[in-house]
Chain A
């Protein structure tokens, strides 16, 4: 019995020891639980949220671009995409076979799809085809029962209704390149597009808008369970341009496929009403993505379709420069409107001989009006000689030539107005009088852009005020508030005597309206619409002495790239100027034969569009032919 008792005590002691140990260990667990769930709770709560919540960026809708009357120039179009969700089909190959009867899928695409499927999670949809026509979408929808795993998704993509006609102004959008990343996560969004040229580039940031975010709950395998929170972004602002879309289309179509450019400007406000540069390109193709072949064709074309020649094409101004030379002399009192100079076809200076464009016989004795009207080179050789290059360049810059005009487009070129100091520092040689004389007829070193020529014409015809060109009327945020724009300055007076301006304008009116004027043939016959202007033909080759002595080749006999550039600047109506226009046709031959008719038709159209709608209906006007 004693033995039993001993055994019982031993058992009880040891059991109590074990049970005590159990209590201690369980308390340890409780302490650990307290540590994890109270002391470290915040850390684990954060980790848990990290685990389950994915942030997604929502691309904002890009702002529209509209013309001065609110007509759409760049919009967002629904982009139908075919998606394949591998998880939803038992047999991917069979689904693809059926799909291929509706949209052609070549072997390469098929291989790519099958390869991608293996790499991705089966519940993630993948894009099979984008930019689907509506008819194909309908056929896929109808055949949905036999296309398991296939779904249609609507995205948005940029669309330019008038494509190549507006491309020089609008530019284009396309994917973000590696070097364009700024750290803005929006730019890293697959498929996000940014402006690469034109207004799309200049106003890219306001057009872009602000991205929204979506918090999605995901499970351990990355499948989206539900959306927890959504912060809507802000759609991009709407850009309202000064362009008149109908006029823009007219200009672009009138210019045709020649390598040319044209600018139409309101001479009082500086509003650019149309800006054409041909040949152009299809901006919608960029959005879709160009093939290497398409890109090569575009970028190697000698007529540079990707270059907006209206702002980046630089040409010697030729005879269109003569008004500036005349004003430089008049303002200095070196000539008067009555100053007469005799033209015998050529003049010698030292060893060199300077020819008038009418070298056979010359123009005879001319006053300033006659000099401008006939575009007599000899007259302006002499005037330039009297004024000197520095004063000519100074006057040119007051008219915007060789100056940055800060137009709202990327790639604007400054051009060049030479001075003595410029030649010394850049060429290391002294300026010669011959160079001054050549400058008098707008040749030599000087370079200007068509936009500058249009601005020059506007400043001449608006009474000598320093109007600046602009393309943007307003940028309006999605909620209707206008984004602050720099205040429109009162255009300052250039301080040129009105009577001097009047003489020059009279000469320009003579060019197009008096028999004998260089562009008389291209005049506007309706007196209400009559224009004034100045032609210019710029030699791009050197005419040798030998050729001079035998027979100067006509433009039509030369290869394209050796022909003269054809220029014309003009304004209308002549009695109360409102619009100015500059046209440059590269290697177009003569200014009077090639450029002037284009400018004429454009100036008729811009004035016709100015009329009240009733007039527009009653007087359907075709561009007047030259006969």
Chain B
């Protein structure tokens, strides 16, 4: 670990200059993220049959652009993010409502908003802004406050409103991420254990009406298929079955770069997006898959240490919330392609082809890095309103 846990132990440092902040950026972590992104570019090169067109070149451009955004976010004063947390959340929620009313139909679901030729996916924005908003709400909460249900009503609405809007789009994957992020924030902020038990029971009770009135048929089919994919190998189970065949046939050392027969012969669906992990595991085998898992774990460890090392509650919540969100995406995607969880539209973070997802993630990593840069800054209850 190259994290400098021992530096800057001073009680309350004065204002940091931009130069100081840039100096504080953790370049090892930055390289690690760039490395995972590059693995993605390499896999997209293979997915196109050894061509940089049509995916690898664009992904590389997005990765570069995203890394710049990440660094920019990282050196921005953390109090800016604290102050505008609600505003950003509000904008995202507003856009979600707009999408619900007037969104373009894309991929059979309303997810995209086209503003002057630029496609925006408000649900992706919400993934980050919900962390900001909840961190802002809880950063000044005392542990005693967390025992009161009334104190948790507002964040409850803040979580459920966007989650339900996204679920209606319908985007089960993102809705789940929002819920998991929200619950994680409640947990980290110190909500009582009994609340989670009651909440869990509530969810179980809510399942029936959700199954009946909210979920679309294809979402239900995916859940049913998950239970027994081999029962219906030509229908919805086909994707899972083909993914397992491609992955399993990779063996220990894989078939070699560009040699994944199942992927290249199109037996593997969506090999450049949701099922890109399968292609990686087919071409590089168990060894390649474990290395990627290891790199992910390393990223999570960095995030965990950054959260623990941070001296302000806002940064801690934000950091750990994002770590959990990142973990959840990676876990669900990999578990999905191996037939452990149902197929939900969930990209493999930093690797799957997709511009919005890449930029969202790197924005999130920028916030994580920002927390690291400002790890010794103390933020009192009034910090949100003070001038940064």
Instruction: Point out the residues of chain A lying under 8 angstroms from B307, CB to CB.
Output: 11, 15
**Does B252 count as interface, using CB distance less than 8 angstroms?**
yes
Instruction: Point out the residues of chain A lying under 8 angstroms from B187, CB to CB.
Output: 14, 18
Residue of B nearest to A36 (CB): B248
Interface string of A514-555 (1 = CB under 8 A from B): 000000000000000000000000000000000000000000
**Does A45 count as interface, using CB distance less than 8 angstroms?**
yes
Question: When chains A and B are docked, how far (Å) is the Cα of A37 from the Cα of B184?
Answer: 33
B251 touches A14 (CB 8 A): no
**Does A22 count as interface, using CB distance less than 8 angstroms?**
yes
Interface string of A426-442 (1 = CB under 8 A from B): 00000000000000000
**Does A43 count as interface, using CB distance less than 8 angstroms?**
yes
Question: When chains A and B are docked, how far (Å) is the Cα of A375 from the Cα of B261?
Answer: 86
Instruction: Point out the residues of chain B lying under 8 angstroms from A44, CB to CB.
Output: 244-249
Tell which of A202-210, A215-223, A597-605 binds the partner: A215-223
A48 touches B296 (CB 8 A): no
**Does B73 count as interface, using CB distance less than 8 angstroms?**
no
Instruction: Point out the residues of chain B lying under 8 angstroms from A221, CB to CB.
Output: 266
Instruction: Point out the residues of chain A lying under 8 angstroms from B251, CB to CB.
Output: 37-38, 41, 45
Question: When chains A and B are docked, how far (Å) is the Cα of A596 from the Cα of B357?
Answer: 100
Interface residue ranges of A14-34 to B (CB < 8 Å): 14-15, 18-19, 22-23, 25-26, 28-30, 32-34
Question: When chains A and B are docked, how far (Å) is the Cα of A7 from the Cα of B290?
Answer: 36
Question: When chains A and B are docked, how far (Å) is the Cα of A48 from the Cα of B304?
Answer: 40
B247 touches A36 (CB 8 A): yes
Question: When chains A and B are docked, how far (Å) is the Cα of A22 from the Cα of B325?
Answer: 11
**Does B98 count as interface, using CB distance less than 8 angstroms?**
no
Instruction: Point out the residues of chain B lying under 8 angstroms from A225, CB to CB.
Output: 265
With both chains docked as a complex, state the minimum distance between the C-beta of B385 and any C-beta of chain A, in angstroms.
20
**Does B338 count as interface, using CB distance less than 8 angstroms?**
yes
Interface string of B299-320 (1 = CB under 8 A from A): 0110010011000010011001
**Does A3 count as interface, using CB distance less than 8 angstroms?**
yes
Residue of A nearest to B267 (CB): A220
**Does A12 count as interface, using CB distance less than 8 angstroms?**
yes
Question: When chains A and B are docked, how far (Å) is the Cα of A18 from the Cα of B296?
Answer: 15
Question: When chains A and B are docked, how far (Å) is the Cα of A41 from the Cα of B285?
Answer: 10
Given contacts A22-B327, A33-B281, A33-B290, contact A40 B248 (CB under 8 A): yes
A219 touches B267 (CB 8 A): yes
Given contacts A7-B313, A32-B338, A36-B248, contact A19 B293 (CB under 8 A): no
**Does A143 count as interface, using CB distance less than 8 angstroms?**
no
Instruction: Point out the residues of chain B lying under 8 angstroms from A146, CB to CB.
Output: none
With both chains docked as a complex, state the minimum distance between the C-beta of A13 and any C-beta of chain B, in angstroms.
10
**Does B347 count as interface, using CB distance less than 8 angstroms?**
no
With both chains docked as a complex, state the minimum distance between the C-beta of B28 and any C-beta of chain A, in angstroms.
19
With both chains docked as a complex, state the minimum distance between the C-beta of B284 and any C-beta of chain A, in angstroms.
10
Question: When chains A and B are docked, how far (Å) is the Cα of A19 from the Cα of B305?
Answer: 10
Question: What DSSP secondary structure best describes chain A's contact surface?
Answer: helix
A29 touches B304 (CB 8 A): no
B300 touches A47 (CB 8 A): no
Question: When chains A and B are docked, how far (Å) is the Cα of A30 from the Cα of B290?
Answer: 7
Could you count the A-B residue pairs with CB atoms below 8 Å apart for me: how many are there? 132
Question: When chains A and B are docked, how far (Å) is the Cα of A505 from the Cα of B84?
Answer: 129
**Does A6 count as interface, using CB distance less than 8 angstroms?**
yes
With both chains docked as a complex, state the minimum distance between the C-beta of B311 and any C-beta of chain A, in angstroms.
9
Residue of A nearest to B254 (CB): A37
Residue of B nearest to A4 (CB): B313
**Does B237 count as interface, using CB distance less than 8 angstroms?**
no
Instruction: Point out the residues of chain A lying under 8 angstroms from B304, CB to CB.
Output: 15, 19
Question: When chains A and B are docked, how far (Å) is the Cα of A15 from the Cα of B184?
Answer: 9
**Does A10 count as interface, using CB distance less than 8 angstroms?**
yes
Given contacts A37-B251, A37-B285, contact A6 B143 (CB under 8 A): yes
Question: When chains A and B are docked, how far (Å) is the Cα of A219 from the Cα of B296?
Answer: 33
Instruction: Point out the residues of chain A lying under 8 angstroms from B248, CB to CB.
Output: 36-37, 40-41, 43-45, 47-48
With both chains docked as a complex, state the minimum distance between the C-beta of B375 and any C-beta of chain A, in angstroms.
13
Instruction: Point out the residues of chain B lying under 8 angstroms from A32, CB to CB.
Output: 335, 338, 340
Size class of the contact patch on chain A: 35 or more
Question: When chains A and B are docked, how far (Å) is the Cα of A32 from the Cα of B243?
Answer: 13
Given contacts A7-B143, A18-B184, A32-B338, contact A220 B252 (CB under 8 A): no
With both chains docked as a complex, state the minimum distance between the C-beta of B123 and any C-beta of chain A, in angstroms.
23
Question: When chains A and B are docked, how far (Å) is the Cα of A25 from the Cα of B285?
Answer: 20
Interface residue ranges of B316-342 to A (CB < 8 Å): 316-317, 320, 323-324, 327, 331, 334-335, 338, 340
B188 touches A11 (CB 8 A): yes
Q: Which of A6, A18, A52, A217 contacts B324 (CB 8 A)?
A: A18
Question: When chains A and B are docked, how far (Å) is the Cα of A15 from the Cα of B303?
Answer: 11
Question: When chains A and B are docked, how far (Å) is the Cα of A32 from the Cα of B250?
Answer: 14
**Does A51 count as interface, using CB distance less than 8 angstroms?**
yes
Instruction: Point out the residues of chain A lying under 8 angstroms from B249, CB to CB.
Output: 41, 44-45, 47-48
B190 touches A11 (CB 8 A): yes
A15 touches B308 (CB 8 A): yes
B265 touches A218 (CB 8 A): yes
A3 touches B143 (CB 8 A): yes
Question: When chains A and B are docked, how far (Å) is the Cα of A7 from the Cα of B307?
Answer: 13
With both chains docked as a complex, state the minimum distance between the C-beta of B186 and any C-beta of chain A, in angstroms.
10
With both chains docked as a complex, state the minimum distance between the C-beta of A607 and any C-beta of chain B, in angstroms.
70
Given contacts A14-B187, A45-B249, A48-B246, contact A33 B265 (CB under 8 A): no
A-B contact pairs, 13 of them (CB 8 A): A3-B143, A14-B190, A15-B316, A22-B297, A22-B300, A23-B297, A25-B327, A33-B293, A37-B250, A38-B252, A47-B249, A51-B262, A52-B261
Residues of chain B touching chain A, judged by Cβ–Cβ distance below 8 Å, are 142-143, 184, 187-188, 190, 242, 244-252, 261-262, 265-267, 281, 285-286, 289-290, 293, 296-297, 300-301, 304, 307-308, 313, 316-317, 320, 323-324, 327, 331, 334-335, 338, 340
Besides A7-B142, A40-B248, 13 other A-B contacts (C-beta < 8 A): A7-B143, A11-B313, A14-B188, A18-B323, A19-B301, A25-B327, A29-B338, A29-B340, A33-B281, A37-B251, A51-B262, A221-B266, A225-B265
